Structure 1
Amino acid sequence: MKKDAPFQWDEKRKNAFDSIKKYLASAPVLGAPIPGRPLVLYIAAQERSLGAMYAQEIEDRKERALYYLGHTLVGAELNYAPIEKICLALVFAIQKLRHYMQAHTIHVVSKADPIKYILSRPVLSRRLAKWEMLLKQYDLVFVPQKTVKGQAIDDLPGEEIFYVDVLPPWQMYFDGAARKDGAGAGVVFVTPPNHLMPYSFTLAQLCSNNMAEYQALILVLQMAIEIGVRDMDIYGDSKLVVNQVLGEYEVKKEYLIPYHQRALQMLNQLEDIHVAHVPRSANKLADALANLAATLALGAEESMQVTVCNRWVVSLLGEENVDTTNMICVYTVN
């Protein structure tokens, strides 16, 4: 068996060791901010991640890095428009290092101006409204990102460029149905690629039709929170429930107050949500699912799967044709 060669302290190893000693003895890579001087915040956004770096000019136009930040996009953040991802990078950096923001003027450097985008929007979604309130607390100045040649970018691409390949929000339809012998809720999710996800729930206790409508809405919100959807349009054909949630109608029935409060509490956990009323004709699938569940009136802990098929009972061609379209899961909800 051949023995290992003895260790030799050659010139290459000596130079490497000296380099390590010099690096460890030098000033740290990240420095502390100097009071009274503005900070530079570099932000960038990619398809699935955000990055930010705080820096400060020290001398001869040299900058010292102060802090690095990174964030992996999750859930509905992945569907943000490119400009909104840049806005999110700014908001993320502000939230992580508020003490830097409060003590310094911040020069924000990026490809697009997130400050102008947030503060100049005529109509703000709930998410952008929160970001606007945050930005107004600090002294922020936008600086266009430099090119490799050192010249500032004067003209940013139009807003239409920022919305290329952005997925639309999820659509969610809900409906409730109550009968003398049972109550049910129907929920339909429509994903951005237009895939239907239908669900039918039997409600374990008898209730009024408005209570069933509220429970259907709460089921929609609960499922959205669980699967991480944050950007969605919710539609229901109950004008009472929709307008009470929007604050246009007062909740006069005491037995509806707990449902109304629960729905608002869950809505506050989501970000970009739009609730709207639609006629029953536009909510046929959710209505059918709710009535199906109310008719089945399953007992506690019971569930079943219902296959929905297209079928010719008697085909003109003399052949029977069956086309299974989807599977509806029916659950019991207490």
Structure 2
Amino acid sequence: MQSLTGRLAALSRFVSKVTDKCQPFFQVIRRGKKTEWTPECEEAFRNLKRYLQQAPLLSTPREGDKLYLYPPLEKWALALVVAARKLRPYFQAFPVSVITNQPLRQTLHKPDASDRLVKWAVELSEFDIDYKSRAAIKAQAMADFVAEFTEPEVCLDQQDAVIGNDETQVWQMSVDGSSGERGSGAGIVLEGLEGEKISYAVKLEFAATNNQAEYEALIAGLELAKAVKADRVKIRTDSQLVANHVSERFQPREEKMEQYLKIVRQIMGKFEAVEVIQIPREQNSRADILARMAAVADPKMPKSVPLEVKSSPSIDQNLGVLRIEQKCSWRDPIVSYLRDGVLPPDKLRARKIRAQASRYTMIDGVLYRRGYTLPFLRCLDEDDADYVLREVHEGICGNHSGGRSLAHKVLRQGYLWPTMHQDAQGKTRSCVSCQSFANFSNQPPEKLTSMTSPWPFAQW
């Protein structure tokens, strides 16, 4: 009996609830008398043999097989990490395809992910994991989906209430332009959904009429609303011409006004809804004050109001220069994977890019490097990196610092590329001013030995 219980203890990891199944054996041993094989022990022994003959076992995968993992809907990111930890030998030896209907890859790489998700993304980057969407589902699952997500019919009173709630999701904006003998300027006041107000001023360093200044204020306001990711905007202006041009009540007669109106409509197409209305000048006093102060660059302007300086009209800035030749950059494979999920055919190269991509993210089409303690660092190509090095090293605020200090300065400014330290060293070595005015040591390589004559005039 003791030999049997010892062997069952060795098999306990393969038998669930082994203590309950071996209870008759333990009761016989505890009696302290002569060991007897009871009918309960015989039944328990048969049940154990039956269980071991039908025990669930994991088959050993063969080389070339692909493993499929189906994480649950709740806490699927944590489920994938736990599965990778428990099945680490399989994850390291075989490519794994995660079948899920949730955006798992986008969640692990999104820019506003928590520290825990960032750690999980870095931990999973060492494995060859491929994320795939679920295939066709059965009719019952489709019926359940339709029954769960079908919106109920809304009566007219409820529709009015919904429309009233949508009006609270509209950003309010006041714009105004000012033109005079001392200069031209534009003022913008943007009010958020929770009542917060953002003031912005633009100084126009070119000759502009009052209508042009009004259009410049409208364009700057739309760009500001797009920067804060506003979808629905209601714009108030005291310019009758601009309001009627946008609402198509008036037709522009001048060529410049047509160009301005074309730019405004292009920007308005990026929003869900934009409404431009005319209000009296008395109700637009704050934007008017900002425009007048920006026109003359008044030193009394509050420091909390950003002041932008535009040296050319928006209709001239619309003409862009196209790049004829584009060099291959180190960012291209990472951007292709994060944006389109494209990987090179080489497995080793694909695994390396997948591991690197876990430390990067895309924000408005720009690649950024993220870390645990550092802010987002913008990734630059070769041309932009050379420009940043020149500006930091010998620009207006440059002090011709050394290579190591120059690299750390660029990092604190929020930029990053792989060869940053080597490029910084090369920049300091190739700088003419640094080489001309460097501190050279005039100390001899060894101590000087004084030579004295034993007798005066002995050399003669």
- TM-score (norm: length of structure 1): 0.49
Which one has the bigger strand percentage?
A: 1
Point out which structure has higher relative CO (alpha carbons under 8 A, 6+ apart): 1
Larger Rg: 2
> With structure 2 as the length reference, what TM-score do the two structures score?
0.37
